[in-house]
Structure 1
């Protein structure tokens, strides 16, 4: 993989930068010379310090704003303030997201609505906040998920919201291409973040079995692949060779084949879990 081209990414905006993928991306872009604006409900002081220490030049600015992506007006105001302070974003990534998972029959309606509100409406709100400030050669990235392409056991709210993000990104790409603004959708497999580690302890065996098909990536490897794909101007960015293979199989193989394979994986996992409960 060649060195990521980030010469035009002098200003980077990211939601969910207080932890996980957003936090790691902020550090990587700061190390590559970008001023960084982080939008999150809470950004600990140690995270801001970590980003500042990663800078390649002390003149790079680091700005944080406490805001919820579900609050469209507050997010738009926070972005406008950042533009006035450090300049318009050359690269903007929506990384804020939640994953509240259970089998559909046991899942709460409120959890489904919260997941869609943060993952899908939050993507819409960030796009609406940053795109008016972005110019030719800039790029917006919306983080979806491989689950938005393949689905997943216990993932009703999550997969539905991420599929919506993919659809939103397709429309934005078409509408903003004439203005010279690139739009990408990032569809990672499982990435080792604090949110994933927390969920892993209670994950259903069928969920685990399906995730293993696409593999799990260390956060640094995943984020570097994301930035490389964005720098190459790709619309769909899928980090991880196993994940790209899983997405290709879902899109190219006959549906009867892909559903049969998935059903077999789930059946084996459910049967195995039943034996373990005896």
Structure 2
């Protein structure tokens, strides 16, 4: 099954949303791809095999590094060491802080942040192995614009994604001399099953504030993300609107927060009327 002339990618969270869409693009570019997910693997593989036979899948819980190590050791037998590892596994629970249980908060930290750490740590020996073949592999974290700016109703999610951005920042420095590239993706709202589910019970305040960064169809967002992954950029922010928002929050933080407060006041007044 292995094609020695093709590059190999591993994608966690590859059975749906951003991970699935990026996998489709990788297959179209003749990558060999292993996807990892906690659910939906069989359905995703059936869909992806229509694009290429160079696809395999493994069940995975990113909270358990022992399972990750076991599945990665199986994956390497199929296509060899990865040239690219994308961690797209994640969850979101949109609740105000006083409504969120400690278990819900911890679950987001454990999957989004600790899971990112676990995937990176388990993948690192294989990325180092790829460098021995004169390759420069890449580790990519899918974070969020909510890892750059706070958003009402996202205490657990923002905390975890801010952490992912920090993790990526440090690994970029630490792995530089080992010839391993690192990038982090910080998209605004992307129309995925995760977002659709959130809208059923999410706060209208959260929904309104998220529009400051805009909302993108998954295909458009992933085209920009995919192009960014194969660029030299460390931080990849699809959509001009989201990039402008992130830049203003960083360069003019007081102005940014004042504008957020005004927006919040208007939303609250509208909901109260």
- What band does the TM-score fall into relative to the shorter chain? over 0.9
* Structure 2 match to 1:62: 55
Residues 268 and 9 of structure 1: is their aligned pair in 2 closer, same or farther, counting only changes over 3 Å?
farther
1:36 aligns with 2:36: no
Q: CA deviation at 1:202?
A: 2.3
Deviation per CA, 1:81-107: give whole Å up to 9, x if none. 111221111111100000012111111
Of residues 256, 260, 268, the one that matches 1:270 is 268
**Equivalent residues in 2 for 1:116-155 (5 A)?**
116-134=109-127, 135=131, 136-155=135-154
Q: Distance in 2 between matches of 1:207 and 1:266?
A: 10
CA contact (8 A) 1:249 1:258 kept: yes
The TM-score, its normalising length taken from structure 2, stands at 0.93
Q: CA deviation at 1:224?
A: 1.2
Structure 1, unmatched stretches of 5+, are 1-7
Structure 2, unmatched stretches of 5+, are none
**Equivalent residues in 2 for 1:31-180 (5 A)?**
31-55=28-52, 58=53, 61-134=54-127, 135=131, 136-180=135-179
Q: Distance in 1 between matches of 2:213 and 2:37?
A: 29
**Equivalent residues in 2 for 1:178-257 (5 A)?**
178-253=177-252, 255-257=253-255
Q: CA deviation at 1:9?
A: 7.4
Aligned length: 263
CA contact (8 A) 1:205 1:270 kept: no
CA contact (8 A) 2:136 2:180 kept: yes
Deviation per CA, 1:212-256: give whole Å up to 9, x if none. 111001101111111111111211000111111111111111x22
CA contact (8 A) 1:9 1:91 kept: no
Deviation per CA, 1:144-199: give whole Å up to 9, x if none. 11011111000000000000000000111001111111000110000000110111
RMSD: 1.3
Q: Report the 3-state secondary structure (helix = DSSP H, G, I; strand = E; otherwise coil) of the residue aligned with 1:122.
A: helix
Q: Distance in 2 between matches of 1:67 and 1:98?
A: 14
4+ residue runs over 4 A deviation: none
